[in-house]
Amino acid sequence: MMKEFELFVGPNHPGVTGNMSYHLWVEGATIKKVETRVGYLHRGFEKLMEKRIWMQNVPLVCRICVPEPDVNEAAYSMAVEDLMGWEIPERAKYIRTIILELARLGAHLLTVGGIAASFGLYTIAQWGVGDRDYILDIFEQITGARVYHIYIWPGGVRWDLPKNAKELITKVLDYLEKRMPLYEDLLIRNKVFIRRAVGVGIVPKDKAIEWGVTGPNLRAAGYQLDFRKLEPYAAYDSVDFEVPYYPKLGEYEVLSDGSDIYTRTAIRLLEMKQSISIIRQALKEMPEGDVILKHPQWFAWKVPAGYSYVRVESSKGEYGYFVVSDGGKKPVRVHVRGPSYTHGINVLERIAPGMNIADFSPTAISLDVCPPDIER
Amino acid sequence: MRNDDWKKVSRLVSKKSLWMVHFCTGCGAMEMPPVMTSRYDMERFGIAPMATPRQADVLLITGYLSIKTLKRVVQVYEQMRDPKYVIGFGSCTINGGMYWDSYNTIKDLSKYIPVDLYIAGCMPRPEAIMDAFLKLMEMIEKGEAIGWKKYHKYYDQYKRNQRMAFSYRLDEVQDIKEDDAK
Amino acid sequence: MILEAFGVMLLAVIVVLALDRYPRIAAAVAIIASLLPLFALTSWAGIMGISLPSFLAPLEFESSLVYNLGPGTLNLAITPLGWFFLLLLATSFPLALLFASSFVRNRAGGFYAGMLLTMLGSFGVLLARDALTFFLFWEIMSWSILAMVLRGGDRRAIVSYLSFGSLSAMLLLFGFMMLYFKTGTFLFGDMHLDTSLTTLVALSMIVAGLAVKGALMPLHVWAPHVYSRSEEPFVAFLSGGLSKLGYFGMLLFMYGIAGLSLLSSWGTFRDVSYFGYALAVIGAFTAFAGTVLAVMQDDLRKLLAYSSVGQLGYIAIGIGIGTPLALTGALFQALNHTFFKAVLFLAAGAVYYRTGKWKISELGGLGYRMPFTFLAALFAIFALAAIPITSGFAAKWLLYEAAIEKKFLFVTPIMLIAGVGAFLYAYKILYGVFLGEPRYDVKEAPISQLVAMWLLVLPLVIFLIFPGWVADLAAPILSEYGMQPIPHTPYVITTNLAAYNTLAVIFALMGALLVSLILYKWKPQEVVPHEDNYLAGEPPELYEYISMHAASNYYEPFEDVFGPVFRRGAERAWEIILAAAEFLGNGARRLYTGLTQDYSIYILLFFLILVGWWLLW
Amino acid sequence: MMAKELFPDAQEIRKGRIRIEVEPEKVGEIVKKLKDNGYDHFVMLSCIDWINDGQFELVYHMWSYEYREHVMISTRIPRDGGSMVTLRDLFPQIETYEREIHEMFGVDFIGNPRLGEFILEGWPHMPPMRKDFDTEKFVKDFYYKIPEVKEE
Amino acid sequence: MVDLIALGEQILLLAGMVTLGFAIGMFFNGFARKVTARIHNRIGPPIYQGYIDVFKLFAKKTNISHGWIFDLAALFSVAGITLAFLFLPVAGFTLLSTEGDIFLILYLLAIPALGFALGAGASGNPNAAVGIMRALILMLAYELPLVMVVVAMMIHYNTTSLATLVQMQSGMHWAIFVPVFFIGAIIVDMALQGMLMEKPFDIAIAPHEIASGPMVEFGGKHLGALMLYKMMAIVVETTLFVDLFLGGGVVLSVSQYGWIAYVVNFLVWFALITLVFFLALLINAVFPRFRIEQALKFYWKYDALAALLILIWVFAGVSI
């Protein structure tokens, strides 16, 4: 007779983000075993991309990660540019930086809200998503769409920023900066939140790199590693920013040995501040000029044969595009490396046994598992 | 009060309390948080998310459905209690949309479960979602949202299509008959 | 008739032993013999001021008897206190036997013989009017319990029962001896105790000896082991009936022989004697600790055993407080506990009879399969948890009122919180055994078992409606101790703090139930199978089997908080006891051969020695 | 030591991108060696279907935070009945990638116990990521042929 | 002979008060959602949303059940909470509260909880079982400080009857104005937060952890009954608080002012329970939820310790 009972967390469950499932075996209140079930969102992107020409894939790739679609566009475009040997205009680089950082801000607001909601603090979730709408407004002004922008193209960005972009963005950034103390007081300095989040959901530090943890989760484990610094793309080598990592948590108290939900939340809040500063700098230093390469025949590109791997630091971690071309009109293979692939499956399946069920959903959400980039 | 009047009153009141299942089937779920929060605030109309299908009235199919999810959606739909309504979200539920040639997503949702209302677009804007809910309320009031009745009436056909989809084979129906014969 | 009754019961013991291979006939003989105490009870109803129709009292029993047995005399007489406790024992005993008639198959003769001997012993204890008679019957009862424990064959149970049983006997004997040297008589009626220290020590020893049987902490250690390793009908009687004899003894010695003024002469605290106060504090501690330990058990019998310990603690509190209100509450609690705990143990037995499992985590979903067992158990659990739709509430309420009246600031919250703790383990039984995933496809329990359970439920219903009747029964007992009975009518009990009207509760409940029934019957419904359940959308047909019963380690967060304190404490206590037992009985250890025949010979030898010593002395 | 020093025949595609082509048997050894030499981040495992050559190309991507260098270890196995020894003991995420590639391409990884259904459920046809699986034709033959629900 | 007319009047009064209680409970549902929405920067549902929701749930065309034990939940939860309401002094009306006392109410409150637990357990869903486990442990947790303060009060006022207590507090001699019971009120308010299952103690229904816990399998009329129970429970529990510390909302004596007193008392009582509930909602909005063992430790360590001080104070006061 089985002592454990089986609990399905997802797909129809408030405790998961998106459409995925964790199959838990629980005894009492302790998780004994976890299996991550994915594939609910499998659309066969990689197959579809092989059937489409290079340009047609741009609107497709952004659908891989919904909360932060721009990293996909950027990575795909950069991979194509890499194979083509293009150098994009300076101004386009700055615009890409602004777009990517705005996307990061939005994604972090959503994640921090999600972490708070998983602990039952819906106020933060409501405020976070509400504030994120202002960022979506900027996107709408710049790109014409709220969620899927299709703005970053191989060769630059589709069109220049609108004339009032600077005022628009600055206004929202000012507003967000004004709101940050509220989030801090209600979330990161909330005594109950600290009790719930400190020392919970720990990814072992010595295993973090071996298990393939990247992004804020890796930085929460005490590594100052950020692909924006390690392999600068867009205009990240020209702007000045800090990479927050454990134990350098700035104005937040260091309460734990790191790598727990609390630290991951703190890192995300700090990164939001850095993003705001990056956008301000980029807006200030942005040169004038073209925003896209003049290249004819959008639909008749032939990309030289070769292998290219391009990575982008997304709000969740390393987002990589492995693109293989045989010199034809269509790619031979596009393989996407989503950060959630390791976070959601390897890491969670290993750290969850022995955890209380109450802590499971917050842990999964604080690892920022986004199912569509697992199964694509 | 006559029975018809009673039904009318019941519909008039019930439309103001639509509880939806917390089930993000696809990327359309991305626009649900904004709809729930300060700018759009659909709780104004009595719409609230609910954890389990037993408690809910509305099933939102937020975007494309892979076959694997379709199984869960059917399970959830059947666990919901009448009257229940389905809103198809985005182009993918109408004809496959972006994924018209994908081997793993269904192309027309209404072949598998009855859909009361579609929202066009990829992705539909929050305003469109709000509008859809208001339209659904109107339909409920007029007694036009009868998807659940259709499901009871054409249950065999829906089941047949679901079986085909689940097995990725058109001849599934025959297979079952052969198995029965054996 | 008393002697004849003893004679017939002894005869029946021999007969059932002879009928070892015919369990049904043995059961019939035992049940017929077990009716004798019941007839004695009805025949003596007059002393409680109850007049029964004559067909209920077919046999005439004399109300007192002095019988010369060679050098000694048996002094027997019925008292109101004895009658009250006889009511508990004599009614639950035949029902336990009735349950056993289908439950016990293995060596049934020995079982019925042992059962009859325990009843014989307790009958004598309840009637005894002098210390030696009391002790003789007490030992008959104790040793026949040992015989029943031996049938279970569990080493821990035997060792703990033997060590605690002999401790109890020793304490009692010393106490009686000291009282004898002080007063020069064994007769209860002639004992005029003074306020000397010797009396205090003697009385303490006697109460401690009795507390062993009443499973008061820290003398409870034997109870969980014995309760969880013996046959259920016997345990039902042991926990329900025999454990009350300890409290009978306490009432007898503390209030019947010593008296309230004597107890108070050793000092009082807010009008409660220190002696009683200590007992109340121990009782409160027992109630709380027993409850916490019960919550942590996975074995159904152990859970019920610890629950017994906890519930018996309430009786000790009532006896300790010693006001008319408290004593009535204690008597009421004793009455309730007898019936609901008997039902629960029998229901556990019925579940075991059908499934062969004791562990809560291995059971599940029997509510729909064994609905009548479930309902009986449900009602008993409601009584145990003192839900006001059973008589269980009235008893606890009386005790709370008594404690508040005497301003027991620290005992009352502990009692109340132990009452809440009872909800926890009550729900553990309900969920783990009767609700949740249906795992067994079994039939309802046999009719004899159902009848036994439901007849035991009956008093819980009767005294729900008429809690005043218990106060009526308590009145003669209280007047013997020179106390005023509490003001009451059949439905309303009034204290100087508040009143409790059962009729109001019942009628309001019925009205509310009626309204909600209409509300509930408004719309049609369909019953879905267990598999059609919320699994976060996962279709169950994709899985061969989905384990959905969460009963294993159910209160894990609770155990994480309390476990380290209590489990370690309990383990250490057990180690000390084992060490002491092994140290004391190092020589006797060789006697433990593990063979039942040997043990029976020891018992026989002990009896011969005991009887011989008593005759020659 | 950097990859260039460890494997002199490695080919540098561009700055920070090294590509090594090896026999399937040697992959385990090389991955281990790189892991021990500072290439501690296993990025991913890709599979490319070279249908004209009749081969699958497995690409093991590794990254060194220390040298800021990305190494792709390429190996080719036959397309039909090709198999590979699992490397799940070296990096845990390899196990997951192997599960995916097994399902999507039909490559057998010897020694991986968790191969089986991962993303798809009840897929009865050829592994879908193979080039000879025509998704458009499948959609036309299957999804478009599922009958509409006829209302009377 | 029984005075049938008086009896009928009494029954009518009780039925009317119960109906009013449910109506107020449903109002509180909309009120709570409105307040929460305001904190979230939203407009929120109309204030009468609770009535609509309950109506809709009872108007569902089909309902499912997991057997007769499952159905008991609906019956016992509504009946039990009604019973608890009837034995409370409400807004100057004694109702049946002279026929029982505080202990009866504490135990009556367990009827709907256990009945509901019975139904949730019968559904066989592990989420429900875990939720009930948490609810019961939470009950054990918050009852300790609650009963400690209640016992202290009962001993101080030398009564256990709430009706008497309310009477003793009349003329604005509210217990909350006694300094020590002011602290007691804070302690009980914290316990009330657990009783109302508002954050940080909404552990039993935590949607992110166990998908709304005990309610997972409840839908349609069963959920409707459950919501009625929850809504009425708010009224009962806040009224208990008001009866204990705020004199039951009685400000005018009936003998002096006649029917005006009834109206004024009713309005004051309503304002007070709304205030108490509003406080709970504010706390609810700014805290995440505890884990269950943290809640247990919180109540038994801090809350109970403070309650112990009150006990000691009363202890000293009594022995003098």
What percent of chain C has pLDDT above 90? Answer: 0
Q: What are the beta bridge partners of residue A31?
A: A26
Q: Which domain holds residue D39?
A: 3-145
Instruction: State pLDDT tens for residues E230-264.
Output: 888 999 999 989 888 888 778 777 778 778 888 88
Question: Structural domain boundaries of chain E?
Answer: 57-319
Q: Count of CB atoms within 10 A of residue D144's CB?
A: 11
Q: Do E140 and C420 touch (CB under 8 A)?
A: yes
Assess contact for C91 and C38: CB atoms under 8 A. Answer: yes
Which of D124, D141, D130 shows the shortest CA–CA distance to D50?
Answer: D130
Sheet-wide strand order for B85-89? B48-50, B19-21, B58-62, B85-89, B117-119
Q: What is the 3-state secondary structure (H, E, C) of chain E?
A: CCCHHHHHHHHHHHHHHHHHHHHHHHHHHHHHHHHHHHHCCCCCCCCCHHHHHHHHHHHCCCCEECCHHHHHHHHHHHHHHHHHHHCCCECCECCCHHHCCHHHHHHHCHHHHHHHHHHHHHCCCHHHHHHHHHHHHHHHHHHHHHHHHHHHHHHHHCCCCHHHHHHHCCCCCCHHHCHHHHHHHHHHHHHHHHHCCCCCCHHHHCHHHHCCHHHCCCCHHHHHHHHHHHHHHHHHHHHHHHHHHCHHHCCCCHHHHCHHHHHHHHHHHHHHHHHHHHHHHHHHHHCCCCCHHHHHHHHHHHHHHHHHHHHHHHHHHHHC
pLDDT-derived band at B177 (thresholds 50, 70, 90) equals: very low
The pLDDT assigned to C195 comes to 79
- Residue pLDDT, tens place only, C533-568: 888 888 888 888 888 888 788 888 888 877 777 766
Q: What is the pLDDT of residues E141-157, one digit of tens each?
A: 898 899 888 888 888 88
Dihedrals phi, psi of C29, to nearest 5 degrees: -60, -45
Structure tokens belonging to residue A310: 């391009």
E49 touches chain B (CB under 8 A): yes
The radius of gyration computed from the CA coordinates of chain B, to the nearest angstrom, equals 17
Q: Alpha-carbon torsion A358, A359, A361, A362, what sign? A: positive
- D56 occurs within a structural domain: yes
Query: Is C505 a residue whose pLDDT tops 70?
Result: yes
By the 8 A CB rule, do E40 and A186 touch?
Answer: no
> Residue B76 and residue C537: Cβ atoms within 8 Å?
yes
pLDDT at residue E223 is higher than 50: yes
Q: Both tokens of residue C329? A: 């509450």
- Determine the Cα–Cα distance for residues C150 and C137; give it in Å rounded to an integer: 20
Lowest pLDDT segment from B145-149, C6-10, C290-294, E1-5: E1-5
What proportion of chain B, given as a percentage, has pLDDT over 70? 93
Contact criterion met (CB < 8 Å) for E104 and C368: no
Return d(Cα E21, Cα C512) in angstroms, integer: 13
What number is the average pLDDT over the span C161-187? Answer: 81
Q: Is D65 near chain B, with CB under 8 Å?
A: no
At the topology level of CATH, where does A45-333+362-375 sit? Cytochrome-c3 Hydrogenase; chain B (1.10.645)
Using a CB–CB cutoff of 8 Å, tell me whether E43 touches chain B: yes
Chain E residues within 8 A of B22 when measuring between CB atoms = 207
pLDDT tens track for B27-59: 778 888 888 888 888 888 888 888 888 888 888
Beta bridge partners of residue D19, listed in sequence order:
D11, D72
User: In this predicted model, what pLDDT tens digit does every residue of E287-301 receive, in sequence order?
Assistant: 888 888 888 888 888
Grade residue B178 by pLDDT with cuts at 50, 70 and 90.
very low
Classified as helix, coil or strand, B141 is helix
Amino acid C236: pLDDT? 80
Calpha distance E28→E22 (Å, rounded): 10
Two tokens, residue A80: 């194509």
Question: Is C561 in Cβ contact with E69 (below 8 Å)?
Answer: no
ipTM (interface pTM) = 0.87
CA-based nearest residue in chain A for residue C547: A5
Return the number of other C-beta atoms located less than 10 Å from residue A257's C-beta.
15
pLDDT value, residue E319: 47
Sheet of A5-9: strands edge to edge? A5-9, A21-27, A30-37
Q: Is the pLDDT of residue C577 over 80?
A: no
E290 with A121: Cβ contact below 8 A: no
Q: Is there a contact between A26 and C361 if contact means CB atoms under 8 Å apart?
A: no
User: Hey, are the CB atoms on C520 and E122 less than 8 Å from each other?
Assistant: no
Task: Name which of A178, A180, A98 is nearest A139 in CA terms.
Answer: A98
Cβ atoms of E107 and C505 within 8 Å: the answer is no
Domain boundaries, chain A: 45-333+362-375
Of D124, D139, D150, the CB nearest to B101: D139
> CA nearest A173: which of A316, A286, A275?
A275
Q: Are C309 and C220 in contact (CB under 8 A)?
A: yes
C-alpha Rg value of chain E to the nearest Å: 20
Candidate from B100, B107, B168 with C-beta closest to D122: B168
Least confident stretch, A224-228, C226-230, C305-309, C611-615 = C611-615
* Mean pLDDT (whole number) for D128-147: 85
- pLDDT, average across residues B11-15: 83
The number of residues making up chain E comes to 320
Q: Which of C396, C388, C390, C417 is nearest to C315 (CA)?
A: C396
In the predicted structure, residue C279 carries a pLDDT above the cut 80: yes
- The predicted pLDDT at position C61 comes to 78
Which band of pLDDT confidence, cut at 50, 70 and 90, is reported for residue C66?
confident
Residue A356 DSSP symbol: B
Cross-chain residue pair C416–E62, CB shorter than 8 Å:
no
Residues C342 and C333: their CA atoms lie apart, in Å, by 14
In angstroms, what separates the C-alpha of A47 from chain D's closest C-alpha?
A: 6
E214: nearest Cα among E141, E137, E127: E127
Residues recorded for chain D: 152
Q: Which residues of D touch A (CB under 8 A)?
A: 13-14, 16-17, 19, 40-44, 46, 48-50, 59, 61, 65, 68, 70, 72, 91-93, 95-96, 118-121, 128-129, 131, 133, 135-136
How far are the Cα atoms of A306, B129, C452, E34 from residue B44, in angstroms, in the given order? 55, 14, 59, 9
From the CA of A24, how many Å to the nearest CA of chain B? Answer: 18
Q: Is the dihedral of CA C525, C530, C531, C535 positive or negative?
A: positive
Which string of DSSP letters, residue by residue, matches C287-320? Answer: HHHHHHHHHT--BHHHHHHHHHHHHHHHHHHHHH
CA distance C615 to D108: 90
Our answer on whether A and D touch (3+ beta-carbon pairs < 8 Å) is yes
User: pLDDT-based confidence at B16, cuts 50/70/90?
Assistant: confident
Phi, psi of D122 (to 5 degrees): 70, 30
Q: What is the mean pLDDT of residues C174-193?
A: 79
Give the C-alpha separation, A335 to E144, whole Å.
Answer: 59
Decide: D and E in contact? Rule: 3+ Cβ pairs under 8 Å. no
Return the percentage of chain A with pLDDT > 90, whole number. 1
Q: E111 to chain C: nearest residue by CA?
A: C387
Alpha helices in C356-501, H assignment, sequence order: 371-384, 392-405, 411-429, 447-465, 467-480
Closest C-alpha among C96, C100, C134 to residue C23: C100
Sequence-separated (6 or more) residues with CB below 8 Å from residue E77: E112, E115, E116, E119, E225, E226, E228, E229
Residues of C in contact with A29 (CB under 8 A): 553, 556-557
Of C354-368, C596-610, E26-40, where does the model show the most confidence? E26-40
Name the closest residue on chain B to residue D133, using Cα atoms.
Answer: B103
Q: How far apart, in Å, do the first and last CA atoms of chain D sit? A: 75
Could you tell me which residues of chain A have a Cβ less than 8 Å from any Cβ in chain B?
11-14, 17-19, 39-44, 47-48, 51, 59-60, 63, 66-67, 110, 113, 125-127, 129-130, 132-133, 136, 146-148, 372
Q: Which of C269, C325, C407 to mutate to test the interface with E (most CBs of E within 10 A)?
A: C407
pLDDT tens for D94-131 read: 888 888 888 888 888 888 888 888 888 888 888 888 88
Altogether, the residues listed in chain C come to a count of 617
Contact C314, C333 (CB under 8 A): yes
SS3 A324: strand
Where does the pLDDT of residue C578 fall: very low under 50, low under 70, confident under 90, or very high at 90 and above? low
In chain A, which residues touch D (CB < 8 A)? 38-39, 42, 44, 46-48, 50-51, 82, 209-212, 214, 223, 225, 230-231, 306-309, 311, 318, 320, 322, 324, 332-333, 335, 337, 341-342, 345-346, 350, 375
The pLDDT tens digits for A157-168 are 888 888 888 888
How confident is the model at residue A239, as a pLDDT?
87
Helix (H) or strand (E) holding D48: strand D41-50
B125 Cβ under 8 Å from any chain A Cβ: yes
pLDDT tens-digit series, residues C319-377: 888 888 888 889 888 988 888 888 888 888 888 888 888 888 888 788 888 888 888 98
**Residue C292: what pLDDT?**
85
Cis-peptide, bond into residue A247, ω within 30° of zero = yes
Q: Are C551 and C364 in contact (CB under 8 A)?
A: yes
Does residue C589 surpass a pLDDT of 60? no
Q: What is the pTM of this model?
A: 0.89
Which of D103, D132, D139, D145 to mutate to test binding with chain B, by most B CBs within 10 Å of its CB? D139
Lowest average pLDDT, out of A111-120, C253-262, C451-460, goes to C253-262
Location of structure tokens 């002080």: C182
Q: Is the dihedral of CA E130, E132, E134, E137 positive or negative?
A: negative
Q: Which CATH class is domain B3-181?
A: alpha beta
Residues of chain A found within 8 Å of residue B103, distances taken between Cβ atoms:
44, 47
Chains that touch E (3 or more CB pairs under 8 A): A, B, C
